[in-house]
Chains A and B, each alone.
Chain A
Amino acid sequence: MSELAPLGPLLLAAVRPSAEGLLRRALGWARDLERLGVDVPLPIAHDLGLLLAAPTNYLEIAARRALAAAVTGHPGAAKMHEGYVEAIRALADDDTFERVRALRPSDDLVVVLLTKLLSGHESGRRRGSSEGIDVLDLGSVGSLESLERKLPALFAEAPRDADIEAIARFLRELTRLRVVLDTIDLDTVRLLAVVGQDGGAPSASIVSGLAQVELLSALSSLQANDVVNFSLELLPSVLETKRRSAPGTYATGGYQGLTRRGSLDSLVLTELAWDDDELMRRLIDDEVLFHARERSEDEASRLHLVLVDASASMRGDRTTFARGVAIALAKRLELEGEEARIRFFDRRLYEPFGGGASARQRRGALAAALPHVLAFRGERGRSPERVMRQLLAELEVLRARDRRSPVVHLVTHGAFYAPRALVQEVHSRASLFAVFIAPHREAQDDESSPDASLDIDFLDLLDGHWTVDQATLSKSDDRARRAKEIVQAIPKSQERPTSVRASLPPTGVRPSAPRSQR
């Protein structure tokens, strides 16, 4: 049997790509599906993958001419295959396929979408005769330009009954496949596109490099759809944020603005026009102007830890709000050139996902972490005390290793009973902001403020806090407005944290005033 024998079933494929590159991509998808443990017949993975990934003008949808002769030994196969070609043609015109194609999905995303479409499907239970595709080294097989010519011979190298039967099963299950197709959440994919943009330049391959498993769990997660919808409500306002261009004093780039501190070589020359006494006074009073240098991103002055509660208490609307706010906040901070790490906690504080030490890695950190943020599942107990202790220990390490000022943003429920003394210690090492989603009560007192149902005794220690009640969560506009307020109210790095109270929205939407309850 020849090395390319596993490709023989492609004779049954209904789609023919116009470029060898597309064919190689399709074979790569089939290989990745095999590695993910999803047994999908090669022709189906090939055809549906190409419909998802490539513009239709790059594809020809028709049966291979040699097919009729190749399946003569299988009664009814040729007729059945006509039905298959028709089905593929209909799917090519399907709205969902068109919308996915418009997003130019990466190979990872195509694999994940194929998994979602076919993993529960009867046609996806037996892969046919293309076993070995996972070990086929596409790099060493040379050009595949002549594959089309070779297909009849490759097809004849092994019995192909299983492949023909797989296509028949596919047709029987077509209705269910269409339902799965219709219920794929395209907004999740869209969010990946929006968040993956770097500095306004659209990324060609938005989710490339993401772990397929993380992506798959994000697309399969029930809550992910809600989080995505909510994030998409918030992100347009966040994306208005321009990359922060804070002036610095180091010569890492060109001059960028004016500042009142600097070295003599960057003194604004017109300052020398003052008479000596006036120049001396200006020097003493710090009024002399210097040219400011463009600042390196590595000099970002703050490191933000966005801690999102993933305990069981957050199930339902709370999780949607918490993760949506966390994504939007992280995106805002990222656009401002600051590093934000989204981390989850339940009984313990989990490690951040994605990101890295370099500025470039940091820029893509949110995109890399997004599937993780959407799909993360904690719910292994709840221990605010332990989490705060862990945070404290990490802040200690940070203080020794990182010169940036840490800022902690806590997004949790209103029954987060951390010991006051611990919160005080955290606050002595980092700025501390918190969003509390007020406890759900069956008989919510309409007259009481959201804060009335908070049992938190450390509110006065926070640099700012916001309370979101159930009534706000249940109303579309209120919820989005409140979330935007929260995301925008975090002070920029030049501002002192206390300014959050001074820059508050008008009464009624203002963060709750801190108060001690003990």
Chain B
Amino acid sequence: MSDLLHDALSRGPSLIERGQPNEGLAMLLGAAAEVDADARDYSALLHALQRAFHQTGNPRGVASIAWYLADVASPSLLTAPPPVDVARTQRMRGDEAAAARAFEEAGLLAHAAVSRERAGDLSGARALWSRLSHRVEGNDERVAQSARRPEAAAEQSYVLGLVRYNVARNSSSSRTDRARRDAIVGSVGALEEAASQFETLGQRERAFDCYNALAAIGATTGTFEHALEGRVNLIRVLREDYLQQYALQQFDEAMAVAEAASEFAAAASFAREAMSYARGLGLAADATTYAKRAIDLHAGTARAILRAGGPPELAENALLAAIGLAAEIGLLARAYGLYQEAAAIEGLDEVRRARHRRGAEHLRGADDAPAREGSKPTARPPGPPLEVWIVDVIEWEQGGLAEEACADILFDAGSRAKTAIERARDPATAPLRRRALLARLLALDIARRQGDGSLPQAAGALVELVRRLGEIVDYRVLSPLEALARHEAPEVRAKAVEAAGNMPFKRSAQLLRAAAEDDDRTVVEAAARATARKQSPVFVDPLRRLARDATAPAVRTAALKALTGIDNSEAADAVLTALEAGSAADRAAIIEALRKRGRIDRGSKLMIAARERMARGVSAEVAHDLQAALGSLE
């Protein structure tokens, strides 16, 4: 046990006993910041802290620790705290029906509906989702007011779409259920509208969420049109954002979905697009794999058309597409077989069949080109989270409250944790959960003191809260950080931007874009510092946009500097374009950043792109800059 923990355990409780609660609590909370402490020591500390909260009349703090410790047996946990905390306690006890009632009492209809679903009460859940849908549609004054901002209007459409989908999900799947059909229609309309608005606002990340939900609706309702709409646009957004592997992963899923729906032609079109895309990226092995898949799918399309008695000309077209592709990748024997298949299509006019027989003759005896050894397709990352219609509505309902986001993290468990005790002691999630507990306790304290008027100037405390949130690298803290980034105090905004700089999630770039246009210099400087840390391929598109559009020169140059640290062709293109056409400050920033990196690998994307540009011809000034930045290009 560390000295700090030992000291806190021995002196903290006694300080409280002696009538110095603030000092005692400060000591205990200070020790709780040792999130890497041994589980038993930390548990002892939290028990002491929980007793202190009891004594000082802080039932929410008591409940928070109880959740962390997975010890929710105390009856007082169901009476003293507010309904929202009671609901969480009931959830931990496994009584989702009681949790639903408490959430409903707290006015959190989405939370209540999720609990109803978990309790198996689908009609109850549907009624709650339906109520929420009406509320979102504009009856709720808060929502109506916030919808006056374009971003809020788009957000409202998005949430409305998800909520309506949840109504549909919990309705009978009978075709005669008019309410279900109306809910799906309404959901699709709202999501389409939201996606359109988000794209107009340049928030492609959020448009991605809409299309993801649309694809899920297609899957749930068995409506291939929605699935297609969602998948195609997911791919488009990912391609526009240069998230190449994620785009290829979506291509794979789209092909699988189309095949499962017997839509071979659509599946083949996905395979061909994936092939062209992979080829453009220089992923030769992936391109060949997709080309072979496309050949199979074209041939499958032709056979399916013929089986269904469809137009022989369409079957012929599909086979010709396969033949062309096979020849393109050197599979001449395969092309020969496909020609023979085309020549045998019944119902096709004799002139065409003769043409295919001649085509086969040209290829008689030809062999397939051997596959290149050692070329394997690249591994794909996992797809996006599936249940966005739950997760995102819950986040929206929490309204950016740090204490609620942190409470959700407290309930996390490692994949192997089965029981409450295992969850409490799960070493995999313990540090994150401890940080979340600390942030929640601080957020609750700030809220309580603001409520009773004992904290007239909250900025200092909020800065500390942001610091703690920044230590929690979890997607769920982005929402509170976004809320705090809109706070009236510039120091809070600046700190929130700084914290966002540590987050590896693409959504955090939205916060930087807003901060780059802030009126306060400290916020803009914080945005520049945070931007410079975003040296990951995930951020190439936001960085390019910042480098191009940000009004603050510091943010522009920070974005360019970050791009110099990312080794992919899009980043290289942005850097070289700025060297060719950027301002003197932009060029100087790039040269400085590249010089600091030292010797650059000759095979890096930046060096390759620079050599290509030099070969195409550049002005003497640009050649000089390239030389200064990259050294010899030979």
Chain A residues within CB distance 8 Å of chain B = 95-96, 120, 175-176, 178-180, 182-183, 185, 187, 222-223, 225-226, 229-230, 233, 311-317, 320, 347, 379-386, 413-415, 417, 419, 439-443, 445, 452, 455, 457, 474-476, 479, 517
> 10 closest pairs, A vs B, by CB?
A312-B232, A313-B225, A179-B327, A476-B311, A229-B313, A316-B266, A183-B324, A182-B359, A440-B224, A225-B317
Interchain CB contact (< 8 A) of A475 among B236, B308, B356, B363: B308
Does the CB pair A179–B236 fall under 8 Å? no
Does the CB pair A226–B317 fall under 8 Å? yes
Interchain CB contact (< 8 A) of A440 among B189, B192, B193, B223: B223
Contact A312:B313 (CB < 8 A) given known A120-B328, A379-B236, A415-B188: no
How far is it, in angstroms, between the C-alpha of A154 and the C-alpha of B463 when the chains are bound?
80
Q: A313-B229, A475-B309 are in contact. List 9 more A-B contacts (CB 8 A).
A: A179-B323, A179-B332, A182-B323, A226-B314, A381-B195, A414-B225, A415-B225, A439-B223, A455-B185
Does the CB pair A222–B269 fall under 8 Å? yes
Q: Provide the residues of chain A in CB contact with B314, threshold 8 Å.
A: 226, 229, 320
Report the interface size for chain B: residues with CB under 8 A from the other chain: 59
* Complex interface residues of chain B between 222 and 266 (CB less than 8 A to chain A): 222-226, 228-229, 231-233, 236, 260-263, 265-266
Q: Provide the residues of chain B in CB contact with A443, threshold 8 Å.
A: 222
Does the CB pair A381–B192 fall under 8 Å? yes
Contact A415:B228 (CB < 8 A) given known A455-B185, A479-B311: no
Does the CB pair B272–A222 fall under 8 Å? yes
**Nearest A-chain residue to B312, judged by Cβ:** A476
**Nearest A-chain residue to B199, judged by Cβ:** A381
Contact A175:B366 (CB < 8 A) given known A95-B358, A316-B263: yes
Interface centre among A225, A440, A455 (most CB of B within 10 A): A440
* Complex interface residues of chain B between 306 and 358 (CB less than 8 A to chain A): 308-314, 317, 320-321, 323-324, 327-328, 332, 335, 339, 354-356, 358
Q: Provide the residues of chain B in CB contact with A225, threshold 8 Å.
A: 317, 320-321
Does the CB pair B192–A382 fall under 8 Å? yes
Question: CB of B605 within 8 A of chain A?
Answer: no
- Per-residue interface assignment for chain B, residues 257 to 291, with 1 indicating a CB less than 8 Å from any chain A CB and 0 otherwise: 00011110110110010000000000000000000
Tell me the dominant secondary structure on chain B's binding face: helix
Question: CB of B175 within 8 A of chain A?
Answer: yes
CB distance from A358 to the nearest CB of B (A): 36
Question: CB of B533 within 8 A of chain A?
Answer: no
Question: CB of B6 within 8 A of chain A?
Answer: no
**Nearest B-chain residue to A386, judged by Cβ:** B196
How many A-B pairs have beta carbons closer than 8 Å: the answer is 155
**Nearest A-chain residue to B195, judged by Cβ:** A381
**Nearest B-chain residue to A225, judged by Cβ:** B317
**Nearest B-chain residue to A95, judged by Cβ:** B355
Q: Provide the residues of chain A in CB contact with B269, threshold 8 Å.
A: 222-223, 315-316
Does the CB pair A313–B228 fall under 8 Å? yes
CB distance from B411 to the nearest CB of A (A): 36
Interchain CB contact (< 8 A) of B229 among A179, A382, A419, A475: A382
Interchain CB contact (< 8 A) of A417 among B188, B228, B309, B313: B188
CB distance from B308 to the nearest CB of A (A): 5
Does the CB pair A379–B223 fall under 8 Å? no
Does the CB pair A385–B311 fall under 8 Å? no
Interface centre among A312, A380, A386 (most CB of B within 10 A): A312
Q: Provide the residues of chain A in CB contact with B332, threshold 8 Å.
A: 175-176, 179
Question: CB of B529 within 8 A of chain A?
Answer: no
CB distance from B205 to the nearest CB of A (A): 15
How far is it, in angstroms, between the C-alpha of A509 and the C-alpha of B232 when the chains are bound?
33
How far is it, in angstroms, between the C-alpha of A399 and the C-alpha of B308 when the chains are bound?
47
* Complex interface residues of chain B between 177 and 233 (CB less than 8 A to chain A): 178, 181, 184-185, 188-189, 192-193, 195-196, 199, 207, 222-226, 228-229, 231-233
Interface centre among B222, B228, B309, B358 (most CB of A within 10 A): B228
**Nearest B-chain residue to A348, judged by Cβ:** B196
Contact A441:B223 (CB < 8 A) given known A95-B358, A383-B193: yes
Q: Provide the residues of chain A in CB contact with B236, threshold 8 Å.
A: 379-380
Show 11 A/B contacts (Cβ-Cβ < 8 Å), sorted by A. A178-B359, A180-B327, A183-B320, A183-B323, A225-B317, A315-B263, A347-B199, A413-B225, A445-B175, A455-B185, A475-B310
Q: Provide the residues of chain A in CB contact with B335, threshold 8 Å.
A: 179
Question: CB of B521 within 8 A of chain A?
Answer: no
Q: Provide the residues of chain A in CB contact with B189, threshold 8 Å.
A: 384-385, 417, 419
Does the CB pair A180–B362 fall under 8 Å? no
* Complex interface residues of chain B between 591 and 622 (CB less than 8 A to chain A): none
**Nearest B-chain residue to A320, judged by Cβ:** B314
Q: Provide the residues of chain B in CB contact with A187, threshold 8 Å.
A: 313
Does the CB pair B317–A229 fall under 8 Å? yes
Q: Provide the residues of chain A in CB contact with B308, threshold 8 Å.
A: 474-475
**Nearest A-chain residue to B319, judged by Cβ:** A183
Q: Provide the residues of chain B in CB contact with A176, threshold 8 Å.
A: 327-328, 332
Contact A316:B359 (CB < 8 A) given known A311-B229, A417-B185, A455-B185: no
Does the CB pair B266–A315 fall under 8 Å? yes
Q: Provide the residues of chain A in CB contact with B231, threshold 8 Å.
A: 312
Interchain CB contact (< 8 A) of B261 among A182, A385, A442: A442
* Complex interface residues of chain B between 150 and 179 (CB less than 8 A to chain A): 175, 178
**Nearest B-chain residue to A471, judged by Cβ:** B308
Does the CB pair B188–A476 fall under 8 Å? no
CB distance from B324 to the nearest CB of A (A): 4
Q: Provide the residues of chain B in CB contact with A476, threshold 8 Å.
A: 309-312
Does the CB pair A179–B185 fall under 8 Å? no
**Nearest A-chain residue to B231, judged by Cβ:** A312
Q: Provide the residues of chain B in CB contact with A183, threshold 8 Å.
A: 320-321, 323-324, 327
How far is it, in angstroms, between the C-alpha of A183 and the C-alpha of B320 when the chains are bound?
6
How far is it, in angstroms, between the C-alpha of A479 and the C-alpha of B356 when the chains are bound?
26
CB distance from B566 to the nearest CB of A (A): 27
Q: Provide the residues of chain A in CB contact with B310, threshold 8 Å.
A: 474-476
Does the CB pair A175–B229 fall under 8 Å? no
How far is it, in angstroms, between the C-alpha of A71 and the C-alpha of B354 when the chains are bound?
40
Q: Provide the residues of chain A in CB contact with B229, threshold 8 Å.
A: 311-313, 382
How far is it, in angstroms, between the C-alpha of A314 and the C-alpha of B317 when the chains are bound?
19
Q: Provide the residues of chain B in CB contact with A222, threshold 8 Å.
A: 268-269, 272, 321
CB distance from B366 to the nearest CB of A (A): 7
CB distance from A199 to the nearest CB of B (A): 28
CB distance from B323 to the nearest CB of A (A): 6
How far is it, in angstroms, between the C-alpha of A315 and the C-alpha of B224 when the chains are bound?
10
CB distance from B490 to the nearest CB of A (A): 37
Q: Provide the residues of chain B in CB contact with A517, threshold 8 Å.
A: 178
Q: Provide the residues of chain B in CB contact with A384, threshold 8 Å.
A: 189, 192
Does the CB pair B224–A179 fall under 8 Å? no
Q: Provide the residues of chain A in CB contact with B263, threshold 8 Å.
A: 315-316, 440
CB distance from B220 to the nearest CB of A (A): 12
CB distance from A230 to the nearest CB of B (A): 8
**Nearest A-chain residue to B330, judged by Cβ:** A176
CB distance from A389 to the nearest CB of B (A): 11
Does the CB pair A383–B358 fall under 8 Å? no
How far is it, in angstroms, between the C-alpha of A452 and the C-alpha of B232 when the chains are bound?
27
Q: Provide the residues of chain A in CB contact with B354, threshold 8 Å.
A: 95
Q: Provide the residues of chain A in CB contact with B181, threshold 8 Å.
A: 455
* Complex interface residues of chain B between 578 and 596 (CB less than 8 A to chain A): none
How far is it, in angstroms, between the C-alpha of A55 and the C-alpha of B497 when the chains are bound?
72
Q: Provide the residues of chain A in CB contact with B222, threshold 8 Å.
A: 441-443
Contact A229:B324 (CB < 8 A) given known A95-B358, A384-B192: no
How far is it, in angstroms, between the C-alpha of A185 and the C-alpha of B175 when the chains are bound?
43
**Nearest B-chain residue to A413, judged by Cβ:** B225
Does the CB pair B327–A381 fall under 8 Å? no
How far is it, in angstroms, between the C-alpha of A517 and the C-alpha of B177 when the chains are bound?
12
CB distance from A69 to the nearest CB of B (A): 34
